[in-house]
Amino acid sequence: MENYGTSYQFSPVKVFRILLSRWHWIAASTGVCLLLAGCYLRLTPPLYETSAMIRMEDNASELSILTGILTPRGYSNRIQAESAIFKSQRLLLKAIAHLDWKVSYFRKSAFREIELYRESPVQITILEQERAFYDQPAELELTGPNQYRISYRAEGRIYQKNCSSGEPVHLPGISFLVRTRLHGTRLKRMIFRFNRPGYWCGRLKQGLNLNETAKFSPVGSLSKIDPNPVFAAEALNALAGEYVSYDLWQKTQSAAQIIGFLDQQLAIFAPKADSSGKSLEEFRKHTDTYDLPVFSNALSDRMKKQREAIELGNLQLSALDKMENALAGGGPVSVLRLVANPAIDALTFRLNSLTESAELLGPVSGEHSPAMTNTRNQLISTKRELKKMLQLARWQLENVIATNLARQKKDEAALLKLPAKAREMELLTRNYGVDQKIFSFLTEKRLEAQIGKASILPGAALIDPAIPDWTIVSPSAVPVWRAAWVIGILTGAALIFLVRSLYARISDAHSVQMHSDIPLLGVVPHLKNNAPVSLVAANVIESPGSVFSGSIKHLRDFPGLLAGNNPLLIGVSSANYGEGKTLIAFNLAASFSLVGKKVLFIAADIARRTGTPAAGNSDPKGLSDYLSGDTGWRTVIQPTNYTGCEVIYAGNTTLAASDLFQNGNFAGLLDTVKFLYDLVIVDTGPICDIGAPAGVLRCCDMTLFVLRSGFTPESSLSAITQMRERLRLKNCFLVLNNWQKDLLYADRHPGK
């Protein structure tokens, strides 16, 4: 008996040899991954990335010209916030109007449909379209010169229409005209679809990104990933153009509101000024003004200024009302240029800037982010300060109006000294002058606002328009193939070590010694001949130079088997059927006969009737016949082809094996034959055959349990140990059968 244990030590060479032993597993997994990668590259539509350069400089609006105050803003934050504007529904819908969006064209390939944006060989013009129209794919097939067939599915059925080029075609909810140019191309069949704007909004938004080209740079890179680079380029240019228009519209909103307010006031004062002028003209036409007394110029000028102050104050109060209403509504507040207060102008500009920042930061950083919270707090504080300033300005204007009204009432007492005609002349002249001055003031302010609006330029500009880029960005062939190689190799290696770690069968002598304290007597290598076990021809004799024969002789030469002159009873069993115990037992018996031993082989596995009898004696009497009392012991002993080796076959009785071994006949047989032979080898049933092996093994001097490499579960060693302890068997040994050198399962456990 030898020590087959090995010390466990990690070795890269050992790992490499284990992987090399199952190289075909790695090759197979790598091949599968490469095949999947090829299918992925073949079936996945390629994606292209197209980009444009856009400048988003935060230029001062017309309010900054008035106030002289600018609010700095990080360009990187602005670019991130502006991306929300690019993806807004309003901007997307306006950009769609610049695209060829109403009809989509596709070419059918072997695996997918390829879009033909701006490259379609047909031109479809929509004639009439209802709100609910057919928006499913339809097929167009060329059938002849200027002839085509349209196929479409509706209500679960497929409809076909044969049409001519230029002939109106009617589908559910839509009529259109088709002009084909298919005869000039190899394309004979294509697919088209009528679209809704919502589809293009989703496509425009998908894969759209805005990034800064450099840190704190006002220039951003607007890119889009799409299956069609021609469409992506047109979409980016349309979005950039609409964004520039939106930026200009946003910057001119304040001036537009000012002009609108001034137009409202002019609409009020224009009829008033015209009426006062006509009244004065009518009075002069019917009255001799040379006979009227002359009124004091100083008093007249003072009353005129008082009237002007009252009218201007009322106009400014109207402007304050509009600003307060806008402030209460939460929208942008416009400086109407009628209240000369730099503090109000500065606070208004700051409020509008904070409002815009809050609108842009919300979708980017979240409503509860620190930046959004800080902006919201500043917005609340600015609103509070602006409200106080507006209330103060209102109080000042109301005081000015009240003061001038009191003075005007006092000065009007002097008019009572004049004749009625003179008083009327003075009143008409004063009203006409005041109305004309207010009208001129409003006209001047309106002209200033129009000039200011015309001078505003957009802060954004398209620097580098997008052009189609046919470089595939996804799927990229090189990374996909690289990943397939890596995943394939790693998967194969992982599978190898997973199988190795989950393998729960006896593989070599090391695994036997790790799971049992029963000594290992020897290892029998794999026998390439898979023929049924025969009790006629022993491999150890028929092939004396084989490795198998040498291993059997190694078992035979164990000192405990050859030492002494007393007869020896050897029981051979196993944990389960199919582990080769009969092969080992008979070849061991034949091997002993070669050294001059007289050996009796007993096939005690009567439940399976293992082994084949000699030719010409196909149904001999055997052990079961003797145990049942049908025959004597001398009649069941049969000769073999080898001198000194005789055999008792299993027999023909069909009684239960456990019953036959309990009547004492087997023990009497052993007591009789052990004095006639040097060695008696008993091939009994496996321990899974309850009752049968127990009665046999108790009578033996030595027990050999045969294990089969790659077949016997590791848990069977525990069952063998329990059998030994329960039956108190002596001289128990293990024999490992059918061993093959397999690095995958070798040395799987750390050594003792």
Helix, strand, coil % (nearest 5) of the chain?
Answer: 50, 20, 30
Q: What is the pLDDT of residues 209-232, one digit of tens each?
A: 988 887 777 788 899 999 999 999
CB 206 within 8 A of CB 92: no
Higher pLDDT, residue 544 or 435:
544
On average, the pLDDT of the chain sits at 78
Q: How many CB atoms lie within 10 A of CB 634?
A: 8
| CA 288 to the chain's CA centroid | 95
CB 562 within 8 A of CB 596: no
Q: Rounded distance, CA 376 to CA 380, Å?
A: 6
Residues in the chain: 752
* Number of domains making up the chain: 5
* Same domain for 111 and 49: no
Which domain CATH number covers 548? 3.40.50.300
Q: Rounded distance, CA 601 to CA 679, Å?
A: 9
pLDDT at 29: 95
| CA 181 to the chain's CA centroid | 42
Q: Rounded distance, CA 720 to CA 686, Å?
A: 10
* Same domain for 232 and 166: no
Average pLDDT over residues 156-170: 86
Mention every residue, 6+ apart, whose C-beta is less than 8 A from residue 447.
none
* Same domain for 92 and 109: no
Mention every residue, 6+ apart, whose C-beta is less than 8 A from residue 583.
527, 533, 539, 737
CB 599 within 8 A of CB 589: yes
- Identify whether 189 is part of a domain: yes
Which domain CATH number covers 231? 3.30.70
Q: Rounded distance, CA 413 to CA 408, Å?
A: 9
* Same domain for 242 and 390: no
- Identify whether 141 is part of a domain: yes
- Identify whether 710 is part of a domain: yes
Q: What is the pLDDT of residues 680-711, one digit of tens each?
A: 999 888 887 655 577 788 888 888 999 998 88
Instruction: Band the pLDDT of 57: cuts 50, 70, 90.
Output: low
* Same domain for 135 and 59: no
CB 579 within 8 A of CB 701: no
Say what the alpha-carbon torsion angle 167, 170, 175, 180 is, to the nearest 10 degrees.
-40
* Same domain for 652 and 634: yes
Residue 339 has pLDDT above 70, yes or no: no
- Identify whether 470 is part of a domain: no
Q: Which of 217, 231, 294 is nearest to 101 (CA)?
A: 231
Q: DSSP assignment, residue 99?
A: S
17-to-27, 28, 428, 632 alpha-carbon distances in Å: 15, 18, 116, 59
| CA 527 to the chain's CA centroid | 53
Residue 620 has pLDDT above 90, yes or no: no
Share above pLDDT 90 across residues of the chain, in percent, rounded to a whole number: 11
pLDDT at 537: 61
* Same domain for 353 and 321: yes
Q: Rounded distance, CA 363 to CA 94, Å?
A: 21
- Identify whether 126 is part of a domain: yes
* Same domain for 649 and 523: yes
pLDDT at 224: 93
- Please tell me whether the overall predicted TM-score, pTM, comes out greater than 0.95 for this model: no
Q: What is the pLDDT of residues 261-315, one digit of tens each?
A: 777 777 776 776 667 666 766 666 655 544 444 455 566 667 777 777 777 777 7
* Same domain for 306 and 269: yes
Q: What is the pLDDT of residues 472-527, one digit of tens each?
A: 888 889 999 999 999 999 999 999 888 887 877 887 787 788 878 888 888 888 87
* Same domain for 367 and 434: yes
pLDDT at 64: 39
User: Where do we find the tokens 């220039």?
Assistant: 219
209-to-212, 226, 359 alpha-carbon distances in Å: 10, 12, 19
- Please report the sign of the dihedral spanned by the C-alpha atoms of residue 271, residue 273, residue 277, residue 279: positive
Higher pLDDT, residue 29 or 327:
29
Residue 618 has pLDDT above 80, yes or no: no
Least confident window among 178-192, 215-229, 326-340, 448-462: 326-340
* Same domain for 404 and 337: yes
- Identify whether 750 is part of a domain: no
**What residues make up the domain containing 305?**
261-455
pLDDT at 432: 67
- Identify whether 290 is part of a domain: yes
Q: How many CB atoms lie within 10 A of CB 749?
A: 13
Alpha helices (H) in 330-419, listed in sequence order: 342-365, 370-411
User: What's the farthest any 2 CA atoms get from each other in the chain?
Assistant: 178
pLDDT at 299: 62
Instruction: Band the pLDDT of 100: cuts 50, 70, 90.
Output: confident
Tokens matching residue 300:
């007249």
DSSP code per residue over 488-526: HHHHHHHHHHHHHHH--B--SHHHHHHH--S-EEEEEEP
Mention every residue, 6+ apart, whose C-beta is less than 8 A from residue 694.
723, 727
For residue 221, the SS3 value is strand
Alpha helices (H) in 595-646, listed in sequence order: 623-627, 633-636
Average pLDDT over residues 580-584: 87
Q: Identify the H or E element spanning 659.
A: helix 657-660
- Identify whether 468 is part of a domain: no
Residue 60 has pLDDT above 60, yes or no: no
CB 507 within 8 A of CB 709: yes
Q: DSSP assignment, residue 606?
A: T
* Same domain for 680 and 625: yes
